[in-house]
Chain A
Amino acid sequence: MTRIIIVGGGWAGCAAAITAKKAGADVVLIERTDMLLGLGNVGGIMRNNGRYTAAEEAILLGAGDLFNITDKASRHVNINFPGHSHASLYDVSKIEPMVRNYLKKMGINIMLQTRVTDIDVQDGIIKGVVLYNDSIVKGDVFIETTGSTGSMGNCLKYGNGCAMCILRCPTFGPRVSISMKAGVEDILGQRSDGSYGAFSGSCKLNKDSLSSEIVEVLNEKGVVVLPVPKDDINEDKLKMKVCQQYALKEYAENIVLLDTGHAKLMTPFYPLEKLRKIKGLENARFEDPYCGGIGNSIRYLSIAPRDNNMKVRDLKNLLCAGEKSGLFVGHTEAIVTGSLAGHNAVRLDKGMKLLQLPISLAIGDLIAYANEKIETKEGLKTRYTFAGASYFERMKKLNLYTTDEKVLRRKVERLNLTNIFEEKIV
């Protein structure tokens, strides 16, 4: 039986586990912390702008499992906030157990608190991953979804030090780049000034620490926009964040809060003293990262060179997805790339041709476009997301963006890809 080992239990890893399982493989999902979803535990934003299209495409392709869960866990649907339309916000305090139970029911073997520290590679073929306790997990094909965030040394070198985010490196140990261990050098993303990495783009405030007026609006409408005092407006901060879709003037002049269970604050970090000057936030405190007044995690420091079918170049049996596979932002991007990697892992083991999604689909185009751009100097400074910035513009220009499910259904049918991820291969 085909045995697929996935390293990294974030959204991408979970998605890969699901499609690999659907394709008939025996799937092991290894995660270093005690929770799945990684940064998804402090995320929440789905279906905004072009992500709506991508989510619907994924559902039609047969990889709708996780989108169905995030839809189900949504506190708010179809809300608008500056620069963004028809977003859904899932409840971060409910989502992880829902996903975990779903994967467990599918029969996916989840290994939590299990940190991979090294690999056993021979002639470009990975034989197994070495765990923290020196034991080895062997497999036929491996998928790396370790992301690109942290660890502490990187967050310090390129950021303001460990801000104690949900990844909890001090407790569980740092992420390890599997591809790098196998001798394939990582690609590093850059900021507009050429420095490496970028700050995670949002933090979370404890909702109970906000004024009752704000909480009421958040609960009802999902979004609150508060003006920043003139002296404290800092547009430079927009340059250092990853989420270029939120690097808009509105986000410098205003505090944008979204209700994801916590109050998601759409800025990498915000000095607590300044934050508390804003009406309604006088008693605010951070929920994630714990030191959101100081800094945030640093990402995009560890991207593997890959093909458009998600296989890592120069290695025979390693695929990648999520942030590991490109300068992507967001859960939707992680889920769609993960779904493709999981499916292709099984194809790879069977010696079949790997699936490459056509560029007439937003998902296929994003995967191909990001890969083309990462070869360029400018491309390393750009982020790719269905949700905004340059890629959403491209989606609109190429007529890939639609919220009409029927249009997408016809397209996927025409491409003969309906439910392809549901197909059992072995």
Chain B
Amino acid sequence: MIKKIMYECIDVGSEYCPCYLAETNDCITCSRLQGKSFCDCNWGGVCIYQRYFWNGEKVNPSRETYKAKILDKKMVGDNLIIFKISVMKTLARQLKQPGSYIFIRNINKPQFFDMPMSIMYSNEYNGEIHVAVQILGSKTKSLLSLNDEILVRGPYWNGLQGLKELKTLKASNALIVARGVALAPAVLVLKYLIKNNNKVSLIIDKGKIDEVFINEYISDLNLVTIESDITTEKGTLLIRELIKNNNYELCYSGGSDRQHCEVKKLLTELSPKTRFAISNNNEICCGEGICGACSIKIGKKVVKSCKTQIDTSYIVEKGEK
């Protein structure tokens, strides 16, 4: 059968739904809030139209920007900083699920310095979150001077595609391949998988970062860790062997789109039934589905990937910019 792609909005039913997209008839889920005259939604447990209507046709308030205290700032090699930030316990709790991210910014810079950053660690009991920032361009460089305070906007959740696949996996084998700064979001992924009694193999590739910076976050977890440069032939062989011998139900790839494609190729060849989740690498700029920076085109449809869960095979194989 030709599977119809369904798009799921990550924010559906949350306190941020209905959002501005409802106001302009661009809702990701509700057919009525797309201007159609009939109900044909990809039901997520709530009627967005009903919420919108009873809200006086107003959108719910969107995420706010908070001034947050920097608890610690640690340089890893030349090009990576780990920020430990104090936030409200509520926000920390909301950032526990895999794929969570926030926007951060230098407190003295205008809003267009906002950059999305994956959550590596979140402690809801003392309200602490950790993010790892690879220093690349003007936005990230502007963080170097920060010592006391940082601007934080969140929570956002669509930092990975294939969340449903990941969250429904229980007592199975899973493979995580993560490289470079994408090791950071992999921490929440593997914690989630282990919590659900899955056996996890983790391939760590430090990529362009000088050292593996997640060790202290995963040291007390029960998992098999292998360090390797996956861009080499040896690395590919390692992944091959693991896939062949371990009957993985799920594979998560954290890294570049090229990495996703390479891993997917191996899966298609060796274990086509393995579910696939990936880090969301699209340029995320506003996080609210408005600015269009994260748009990807699937067929004739333009999908805002900052808020939309999309079947990963479409992103890896058929998605086009």
Contacts and interface: CB of A to CB of B under 8 A. Distances in A.
B49 A156 contact: yes
Contacts of A130: 1
A174 B38 contact: no
A153 B1 contact: no
In this complex, the interface size class of chain B, counting residues with CB under 8 Å from chain A, is 10 to 19
Interface in B30-64: 30-32, 38-43, 45-47, 49-50, 53-54
Interface string A117-130: 11010000001101
B1 A170 contact: no
A174 B40 CA distance: 9
Interface string B6-50: 000000000000000000000000111000001111110111011
B258 interface: no
A301 interface: yes
A161 B50 CA distance: 7
A174 B41 contact: yes
B4 interface: yes
Contact of B1 (A120, A151, A169): A120
Contacts of B49: 152-153, 156-157
A186 interface: yes
Contacts of B47: 151-153, 156, 162, 169-170, 174
A301 B39 CA distance: 10
Nearest to B36: A153
A213 to B, nearest CB: 39
Given A128-B1, A162-B47, A170-B46, A156 B53 contact: yes
B55 to A, nearest CB: 12
A139 interface: no
Nearest to A133: B168
A120 B1 CA distance: 6
A156 B50 contact: yes
Contacts, number: 54
A280 interface: no
A115 B54 CA distance: 27
Contacts of B54: 161
A154 B46 contact: no
Interface in A153-196: 153-154, 156-157, 161-162, 169-170, 173-174, 176-177, 180, 186
A211 B49 CA distance: 39
B314 to A, nearest CB: 15
In this complex, the interface size class of chain A, counting residues with CB under 8 Å from chain B, is 20 to 34
Contacts of B39: 150-154, 174
A173 B1 contact: no
A127 B42 CA distance: 21
A281 interface: no
A328 to B, nearest CB: 20
Contacts of A152: 39, 47, 49-50
A136 interface: yes
A174 B50 contact: no
A418 B41 CA distance: 45
A180 B54 CA distance: 28
Given A154-B38, A174-B39, A301-B38, A161 B53 contact: yes
Contacts of B40: 176-177, 180
Given A153-B30, A153-B32, A174-B43, A162 B38 contact: no
Contact of B43 (A127, A162, A173): A173
A173 B13 CA distance: 13
Contacts of A136: 1
Contacts of B53: 156, 161
Contacts of A176: 40
A154 B30 CA distance: 12
A156 to B, nearest CB: 5
Nearest to A185: B38
Contacts of B41: 153, 174
Contacts of A151: 39, 47
Contacts of A156: 47, 49-50, 53
Given A153-B32, A157-B32, A174-B43, A162 B50 contact: yes
Interface string A92-106: 000000000000000
Given A152-B47, A156-B53, A127 B1 contact: yes
6 contacts: A136-B1, A151-B47, A153-B49, A154-B38, A161-B50, A170-B45
Interface of B: 1-2, 4, 30-32, 38-43, 45-47, 49-50, 53-54
